[in-house]
Amino acid sequence: MAACFATNATYQNVPHAPYSGRAEIEQLFAPILNASERVKWDVLSMAIDGVRIHLERVDRFWIRGKEYSVECHGVITVDPTDGLIVSFLDYLDLGEWRAKLGDVLRK
């Protein structure tokens, strides 16, 4: 997943502070991706305007046989020269997501 990002990219769960750089983004996602037996990002709708992409999606993670899902809207900016993500803004209800996950990642 991290290889899709430019080395100096940013990722932000709005309104929280952004994560800067591929290494920070990889560290952010590592706990959930490493704990998941399966991951699926269902794109419900997409709009593209030049280098900016809007994705309405449902992110699904299977951890210890149970599915955890969250509805998201991502706004992605891509560098047209190499196709890598330079900016990713994710809009989701983190309170709802954290309530669904509970302490599953701490076990």
**This model's pTM is above 0.85:** yes
Residue-wise pLDDT for 43-98, tens only, equals: 999 999 999 999 999 999 999 999 999 999 999 999 999 999 999 999 998 888 88
Domains, the chain, ordered by start: 2-106 (3.10.450.50)
Q: What does 15-61 look like in DSSP terms, one character per residue? A: TSPPEESHHHHHHHHHHHHHH-SEEEEEEEEEEEETTEEEEEEEEEE
